[in-house]
Structure 1
Amino acid sequence: MISSPVTFHVVPMEPSHAENICEWNYKPPYNIYGWMPWEQMQALGIEFGDPVLRSQQYVSVVNEQGDLCGFAQLFPMEGVVRLGIGMRPDLCGHGMGHLFMEAIVQAALKRYPEREIDLEVLTWNQRAIRTYQKCGFTITDTYERRTPSGDRPFYCMVYDK
């Protein structure tokens, strides 16, 4: 029997989603994508720990049953919306990334129809790069960015509508 593909929906990020995301643990080398504890994010008022920033920039990605499958940040910049993406660790590497990304891209297009969509990805993350390319993103630039473990090479990828 062939199972039907999963359908992802983008919804406002609830505090319970944010708390859940902070508990996700990725296997190396993807473990660099983890978050600090929820209580600490709230106390510092950073990223989705800030309720205003969470409501303005962050969305949750859920499946048809309403289960949290991931999140995205839709970061508005001059003429561009930059995506930050996170898929629940147990869902990564199972061939659903393009469906996940398509839901996020459609949400970004709906919210920011006049803006270009881009994202940054570490150059070693070929799994993500292949997914982004499958969804219509192309590499347009390579540069170094500071990370918690020092300067690392990144690609900027732009969505080609």
Structure 2
Amino acid sequence: MSLRIGKMNQHHAVEALCWKYEEPYDFYNNILTSDAIMELLSNKYYAVFDTYNELVGFFCTGRSAQVPAGDPYGVYKEDCVDIGLGMKPELTGKGKGFEFFSTILRFAEENHKSHDVRLTVATFNTRAIHLYEKLGFIKQMEFSTHEADFITMIKRRNADHSQLG
């Protein structure tokens, strides 16, 4: 599966917002609203396509990738590029995540050369956490919302993991 990154458009935004995940990943299900479409179109959202030009996922960078409830805990104080992502439900759990996230990670690292990369993930999503660790991310801080517990994970540009806690 060869992947490419493209601009998010309204058709792809609607498609992604209609994806439905099975439990416990239904936590990531969205509601299709005009505000949700505008969010995907007006911020730093990108679409990820396969060789057949089919939408396989999306990602965002910056504030849109953060969980605002983490702000009081100071989890976003450090200057990093944040990444949020979603993969088409039919493709999850099938060994495709490594290539999917590697493609996104390369894009982020090429476009934000001087920044460490950070992501926020729900603690129950052990499948994603394992993938992120495989790609060099280290768990940083935990925080809770009324919906879920989260952790931030960071991949250092110059990863000297011995200094990370």
TM-score range, shorter chain: 0.7 to 0.9
TM-score (norm 2): 0.80
* Percent pairwise identity: 28
RMSD: 1.7
2:54 counterpart (67, 73, 76) = 67
Structure 1 residue aligned with 2:97: 97
**Aligned-partner Cα distance in 1 for 2:138–2:51:** 29
Whether 2:11 is the aligned partner of 1:9: answer no
Is residue 9–residue 63 contact of structure 1 (8 Å, CA) maintained in 2? yes
1:52 counterpart (42, 46, 66) = 42
Unaligned runs of at least 5 residues, structure 2? 64-75, 158-165
TM-score (norm 1): 0.82
**Aligned-partner Cα distance in 2 for 1:59–1:17:** 10
Unaligned runs of at least 5 residues, structure 1? 1-5
**Aligned-partner Cα distance in 1 for 2:110–2:93:** 27
- Summarize deviations over 1:53-109 as a string: whole Å, max 9, x none: 2xxx10011111111000001115772111111000000000111110100011111
Is residue 81–residue 115 contact of structure 1 (8 Å, CA) maintained in 2? yes
Normalized per residue, the structure richer in strand is 1
Matches within 5 A, 1:6-155: 6-42=1-37, 45=38, 47-48=39-40, 51-53=41-43, 57-75=44-62, 79-144=79-144, 146=145, 150-155=146-151
